[in-house]
Structure 1
Amino acid sequence: MTGKLEFLLLGPLEVAARGRKVQVGGPRQRTVLATLLLNADRVVSVDALAETMWGARPPSTSRTQVAICVSALRKAFRACGVVDEVIETVAPGYVLRPGGHRLDTLDFEELVDLARAAARQGRGEEAVRLYDSALALRRGPVLANVTGAVPEHMSAQLEENLLTVYEEQVELRLALGEHRSLVAGLVAAVEQYPLRDRLHGLLITAQYRSGYRAAALETFARLRRRSVEELGLEPGAELRRLHERILRDEERPAVGRPPAQLPAVTQAFVGRTEELAVLDRLAAADGQVGVPPLGLLVGGVGVGKTVLAVRWAHCHTALFPDGQLFVDLRGHDPHHPPADPATVLAHLLHALGVPPGQVPVPAERPTLFRTVMAARRMLLVLDDARDAAQVWPLLPNTATCQVLVTSRNPLRELVARSGTVPLRLGSLGRDDAVALVRGIVGEARAARDPDAVTELVELCGRVPGALLAAAAHLASKPHWGVPRMVHELNRPRRRLSGLGGCGQRLRDGLASSASRLDPVAADLYRALGGLPTPELTSWTAEALLGCPAPEADDVLERLVDAHLLEPAGSGADGETRYRLPSLSHAYAAELATTGP
């Protein structure tokens, strides 16, 4: 079996395998390895490696010595059980292939990209956690044990990237009101980078918001003295403006245009004409005093609740000139706990222009939020709510604002308290489902096998999430015909895996719903996965549970509430029939095979 290496650049250069450090030789081997890692998947010529080690006048034996270094590195990797050629000989030099191995700089870039995406979408706390994970990869001065022109240049670049990411995280934490906990770390950072305006601005802001106005002014004075003495320059214009606001004791977070926090709208959208019309009527209705128009979109995994809410919201931004707010409540996120309403309110208040230092204690935040929203015309989208208790504190009390809530749960308590009528989303119509697939895989490709396309959409239960996953998987494999994809999905136990990477997200969603079932309902759901057909009656549940009909009906209805089962009409004898939707059937079949 091929071993896996870990290449660590964000600190002294190290290589590890199975948790143990790999000895990669002396300074020259480290220089060669670092240069190849910093140019991963790109050919580095022997001459360039020689120049990195010896400068413009390498010795006559330089090419031989480079080859010896590469040979020693290959030998060290093979000793760790790595059978593939990590460093390949490719004219006019060598190329390092990191595929299958870990490179901490790539991990860092991926985490930072995720953090920036979360920040753009208003998920500040999640972004801070991702930034934390990225910055935790640093083990000390970058490439401190490596010499050479290329590594030194690239280590400076990596240090700059790390510092920029730290500054981005600090800005987010300031927005979340964490100014007091930031001061000490920023003081140390400013000592290390004494002429960096952005760092000084962050420290000055943190000091001022923590009540240390004199310290903030002194920080600016020290920077100005040093900048003038060493560079002959005044601090930058933005820092000077911050200093002036503090002198006037009026520094506040920058509030520009109204918040526009809606995620990007997907182009892959079809149908939902009736649902969009319902939301239009809700927006046009005369609001009651003290009650915001409230739309509740309810449905199972992958039916497109968030997509519909965001689509409608983008089409009607003109109705909400004071802005649009979006919050992911993470009610069914298998990887993170549900969002705490008090924390969400702090984020919303800041987005509405309340300085973090003026956000009150949690018990007082709902009142301030309602006060701030009272004079505005805004839209608030609360995505993936877990229960009414999570939503109720976040509702404004004015008819000039509108709220859209999405959830997998029926939220009966919210319905009872607000009087709203839930809008239940199910699968798409067949024509819309076919149009969604054709739009992604292409008209010509779909037209070659129209019957297979129809079978494909039925295997996906006409659920938008599954249809998009299947179509995306097909689009990534142009050599496949649609019948090949149908074959992949035809067995329930392999249906979710047949959807490719997007299928795992659907499986996670189904697993999250199933994990919230009580033990009796969970046992029945697993047992239904072992049945040869997704159709059943309450008599089937009675037989599987060994209990009377009323109790079996109650358990079936709990599965219906979780969107893992759906009513399918009545039989000739009047008995209610049920059906496992395609994705739910696929996950139940997996559970029946693997056990709880």
Structure 2
Amino acid sequence: MNGKLEFLLLGPLEVTARGRRVQVGGPRQRTVLATLLLNADRVVSVDALAETLWGARPPSSSRTQVAICVSALRKAFRACGVEDEVIGTVAPGYVLRSGGHRLDTLDFDELVALARAAVRQGRDVEAVRLYGSALALRRGPVLANVTGSAPEHMSAQLEENLLVVYEEQVELRLALGEHRPLVAGLVAAVERYPLRDRLYGLLIVAQYRSGHRAAALETFARLRCRSVEELGLEPGVELRRLHERILRDEERPVVERPPSQLPAATRAFVGRTGELAVLDRLTATDGQVGAPPLGLLVGGVGVGKTVLAVWWAHRHADLFPDGQLFVDLGGHDPHRPPADPGAVLAYLLHALGVPPERVPLVTERPALFRTMMAARRMLLVLDDARDAAQVWPLLPNTATCRVLVTSRNPLRELVARSGTVPLLLGGLEPGEAVALLRGIVGEERAARAPDAVAELVELCGRVPGALLAAAAHLASKPHWEVPRMVRELNRPRRRLSGLGGCGQHLRDGLASSARCLDPVAANLYRALGGLPTPELTSWTATALLGCPTPEADDVLERLVDAHLLEPADSGADGETRYRLPSLSHAYAAELATTGP
């Protein structure tokens, strides 16, 4: 078995494998490992490692002792099931290969890069969340249990990076009007970094906008006194200008706003009348103590779970005056792992006004979150949940809140624990699907080929995601008529590619669902793609699998749970029949041709 290691540097150095801590030895092994990790995928010479351990005058046996440390680390990794050579020997020293393993510093850098990109694109609320996820990776003083010149220098750099990210997040939160919850954290920060002008400026703005003008002026006076006495310098130009604006009362306080994190609702929304009526029941007061009404939207790729949740949430936003929270749990995102509930809780606590440095240990976050949500009238949307374990710690315990969860999985454990009834989403009604297509393609263009429009709707399985992809492709090609699009999609193996760029997003989603299948179900799904028709019975599965019918039925139901197969009407003989939905059939046909 080849395991995956997690290297944690944003705190005391730790290594874990499958959730269990790996014992990496004493101080020297920790120093060698930290140095290699801080130079991951780059060769570190033996001489550099020796200098880190012993300074400018290492003992004559230093090379041997470094080799012993590396050997001990390799042995520790092998003992926890890691077969790959994590630390390779490459002249003139060693290299730690990070591929296939996790480094929290790389996670931090990626989240910060995403946050800064969101800022450039004007998505400030999402940027605050991403910054919060990055800051939540910190577990304490960086590399507190590691000594040596190189690690100490790098730990100081990492601490600086963390501080800069905290300042960037605070600036965004001030721009969003969240000034009052920031004051306590900024007071603690300036005490720890007493000569950092940027922190003082943020604190002064937060105090002033919270209505504490005198406190803001006193903070500036304290900074000026420190700066003059200890450095012989006046505060920087920006701080002096800020001080002057406050003296003239030109920094008008901003009214603090509750969090409003819902993504924009699409204008291309049709139908779902029955589903919206079911969700409307969440607005009723049922009187159950400690149980927030919970809506669970379950369905396959592209059926519009998120769109429906966001549409309903915007329609009823006025019922949640204390704010609306939105979290993408990434349960089936092929480009990143599912969100960790502990990191999500840290983000939610930030949104509720808890400063980053006051976010408690992971085990204590659920209790604080429930406390913060108590008596508030808020909506929490948890999008793309992978399983109940990811959702349960994030649920409030007050009936004044409402929760919406979307998932591709049935989440039976959540249903059993919460008592909620899942709302299963499928394709739109034929008339609704046609209306969605017409709204983008245009009435005149669609009217020229009504039969082709009806056929196109069925080729897309009446799934909103596929319909929108087809409509967008047609809109980008005004010289195409609808029948040509029908011809493009009529062959299952080319259906997803025929949907243009948006088809790749649907293919990624289907691939993610298929990867979650066990090997037997995955093999059956691939085999079904080679059949001439998307319809089948359990006898078909029995023949393909070469197993008894009851076992084949179990495998078919696993495909149903993954929304890659759906029950059809039973035949005259009473036997259950199944069919591959249009998009699932298309992806299975691709797999049957190309293999997994």
Under TM normalisation by the shorter chain, which class is it?
A: 0.5 to 0.7
User: Is 1:567 the counterpart of 2:572 in the alignment?
Assistant: no
Aligned to 2:125: 120
SS in 1 for 2:583: helix
Aligned to 2:524: 524
Aligned to 2:47: none
Q: Deviations over 1:78-137 (max 9, x none)?
A: xxxxxxxxxxxxxxxxxxxxxxxxxxxxxx9997258756643367237987xxxxxxxx
Does the CA contact (< 8 Å) of 2:382 and 2:404 recur in 1?
A: yes
User: Is 1:550 the counterpart of 2:556 in the alignment?
Assistant: no
- In structure 2, C-alpha distance between the alignment counterparts of 1:570 and 1:238, rounded to whole Å: 79
Mapping 1:356-375, distance limit 5 Å: 356-375=356-375
Does the CA contact (< 8 Å) of 1:303 and 1:427 recur in 2?
A: yes
Which one-letter code corresponds to 1:300 in the other structure? G
Q: Deviations over 1:136-186 (max 9, x none)?
A: xxxxxxxxxxxxxxxxxxxxxxxxxxxx99974675799999x99x999x9
Aligned to 2:343: 343
Mapping 1:219-230, distance limit 5 Å: none
SS in 2 for 1:410: coil
Aligned to 1:496: 496
- In structure 2, C-alpha distance between the alignment counterparts of 1:238 and 1:322, rounded to whole Å: 35
Mapping 1:457-496, distance limit 5 Å: 457-496=457-496
Aligned to 1:376: 376
Aligned to 1:511: 511
SS in 2 for 1:403: strand
Does the CA contact (< 8 Å) of 1:204 and 1:217 recur in 2?
A: no
Deviation of 1:436 (Å): 0.2
SS in 2 for 1:312: helix
Q: Structure 1 232/351 Cα, relative in aligned 2: closer, same or farther at 3 Å?
A: closer
Q: Structure 1 319/230 Cα, relative in aligned 2: closer, same or farther at 3 Å?
A: closer
- In structure 1, C-alpha distance between the alignment counterparts of 2:481 and 2:205, rounded to whole Å: 59
Does the CA contact (< 8 Å) of 2:566 and 2:579 recur in 1?
A: yes
TM-score, normalization by structure 2: 0.65
User: Is 1:385 the counterpart of 2:390 in the alignment?
Assistant: no
Q: Deviations over 1:470-512 (max 9, x none)?
A: 1011111111111111111111111111111111111110010
Deviation of 1:344 (Å): 0.7
- Residue identity (%): 75
- In structure 2, C-alpha distance between the alignment counterparts of 1:255 and 1:394, rounded to whole Å: 28
Deviation of 1:305 (Å): 0.4
Aligned to 2:539: 539
Which one-letter code corresponds to 1:514 in the other structure? A
Which one-letter code corresponds to 1:434 in the other structure? V
Aligned to 1:437: 437
Does the CA contact (< 8 Å) of 1:383 and 1:407 recur in 2?
A: yes
Aligned to 2:263: 263
- In structure 2, C-alpha distance between the alignment counterparts of 1:451 and 1:127, rounded to whole Å: 51
Q: Structure 1 392/437 Cα, relative in aligned 2: closer, same or farther at 3 Å?
A: same
- In structure 1, C-alpha distance between the alignment counterparts of 2:418 and 2:523, rounded to whole Å: 34
Does the CA contact (< 8 Å) of 2:119 and 2:127 recur in 1?
A: no
Does the CA contact (< 8 Å) of 1:123 and 1:328 recur in 2?
A: no
Aligned to 1:234: 240
- C-alpha RMSD over aligned residues: 3.8
- In structure 1, C-alpha distance between the alignment counterparts of 2:235 and 2:587, rounded to whole Å: 69
Does the CA contact (< 8 Å) of 1:183 and 1:203 recur in 2?
A: no
SS in 1 for 2:477: coil
Does the CA contact (< 8 Å) of 2:449 and 2:483 recur in 1?
A: yes
Q: Structure 1 317/113 Cα, relative in aligned 2: closer, same or farther at 3 Å?
A: closer
User: Is 1:405 the counterpart of 2:405 in the alignment?
Assistant: yes
Deviation of 1:448 (Å): 1.0
> Which stretch has the larger CA shift, 516-525 or 364-373?
364-373
Q: Deviations over 1:189-244 (max 9, x none)?
A: 97xxxxxx7576369999xxxxxxx9998766577999969969823159969xxx
- In structure 2, C-alpha distance between the alignment counterparts of 1:223 and 1:488, rounded to whole Å: 71
Aligned to 2:316: 316
- In structure 1, C-alpha distance between the alignment counterparts of 2:165 and 2:353, rounded to whole Å: 25
Q: Structure 1 339/294 Cα, relative in aligned 2: closer, same or farther at 3 Å?
A: same
Which one-letter code corresponds to 1:112 in the other structure? A
> Which stretch has the larger CA shift, 552-561 or 500-509?
500-509
Aligned to 2:45: none
Which sections of structure 2, spanning at least 5 residues, go unmatched?
Answer: 1-112, 135-163, 207-217, 248-253
- In structure 1, C-alpha distance between the alignment counterparts of 2:351 and 2:397, rounded to whole Å: 18
Mapping 1:96-245, distance limit 5 Å: 112-113=117-118, 116=121, 119-121=124-126, 124-125=129-130, 168=168, 171=171, 201=201, 234-237=240-243
Does the CA contact (< 8 Å) of 2:297 and 2:305 recur in 1?
A: yes
Q: Structure 1 390/230 Cα, relative in aligned 2: closer, same or farther at 3 Å?
A: closer
Aligned to 2:295: 295
- In structure 1, C-alpha distance between the alignment counterparts of 2:401 and 2:166, rounded to whole Å: 37
Does the CA contact (< 8 Å) of 2:301 and 2:408 recur in 1?
A: yes
Which one-letter code corresponds to 1:530 in the other structure? G
Does the CA contact (< 8 Å) of 1:227 and 1:235 recur in 2?
A: no
Does the CA contact (< 8 Å) of 1:430 and 1:457 recur in 2?
A: yes
Does the CA contact (< 8 Å) of 1:128 and 1:173 recur in 2?
A: no
Does the CA contact (< 8 Å) of 2:189 and 2:199 recur in 1?
A: no
Does the CA contact (< 8 Å) of 1:304 and 1:465 recur in 2?
A: yes
- In structure 2, C-alpha distance between the alignment counterparts of 1:510 and 1:558, rounded to whole Å: 15
